[in-house]
Amino acid sequence: MISIKGLRKQYVTKERQIIAVDDLDLDIKEGEIFGVIGYSGAGKSTFIRLINRLEEPSGGSVTIGDKDITRLKKNDLRIARQDIGMVFQHFNLLWSRTVAENIAFPLEIAGMSKTDRKQRVQELIDLVGLTGREDAYPSELSGGQKQRVGIARSLANKPKLLLCDEATSALDPETTTSILDLLVDINEKMGLTIILITHEMQVIRKICHRVAVMEEGKVVEMGDVLDVFLHP
């Protein structure tokens, strides 16, 4: 479903030049939960942001379905991005908007009517287990609840692919487990493909089908989670 070939990202600053993602080749299957693990600075975040082109690549391709994301013009990229949801470590919620308004935001941008929006938002709120909290503000929610809002918002436009950027790294272990359970539930119910990056081994162990280990911009190991972690 997703084919990544020769993907590169080089950052050039006044002080130095660094290859954050170095000639990466990777195929991700439809419906799988694919994990990328590595130490801080390995290039994970740059990699995941290249998939929806929040970062411009220095070279290579990211083909999703039949579209090479790296070659799309602005308007086609905007349309392609509706099929890609993203969940962030620090939730990236709008603090002056309620739970329902945060989740409605991508639907508003996509031009959905008010009546349809209302129904869709309620479905999403029920799906992530926030029924009754529609009118709460993010500041009134726990970390886990905030991430549930982030997940609901990421699913609003019914994406085929979900990118999770350290989605549980700001949460305590118990809350992490409940958010990972929710991701598995969504993966199974909707057949959604999930790519997640993390520095936490237990996240990979708990929910990923396959894993890639990243070091200095390269994939140094890849395979089924059990194989990679049992035969280092």
**Rule CB under 6 A: which residues touch ligand ADP?**
11, 13, 18, 20, 38, 40-46, 90-96
Please say which residue, 50 or 130, places its beta carbon nearer to ligand ADP. 50
Find out whether 197 and 48 touch, Cβ atoms under 8 Å: yes
Residue 220 backbone dihedrals phi, psi, to 5 degrees = -100, -10
Task: Find residue 37's DSSP bridge partners.
Answer: 198, 213
Task: Find residue 27's DSSP bridge partners.
Answer: 3
- Closest separation in Å from C-beta 28 to ligand ADP: 18
Please say which residue, 44 or 148, places its beta carbon nearer to ligand ADP. 44
Please say which residue, 134 or 215, places its beta carbon nearer to ligand ADP. 215
Q: Which two tokens mark 103?
A: 């989740």
- Number of residue whose CB is nearest ligand ADP: 90
Beta-strand runs (E) in 82-209: 84-87, 161-165, 193-198
- Closest separation in Å from C-beta 34 to ligand ADP: 16
Q: Which two tokens mark 158?
A: 């019914």
- Closest separation in Å from C-beta 76 to ligand ADP: 25
Please say which residue, 18 or 77, places its beta carbon nearer to ligand ADP. 18
- Closest separation in Å from C-beta 17 to ligand ADP: 9
Whole-angstrom CA distances from 76 to 17, 48, 110, 160 are 31, 20, 13, 16
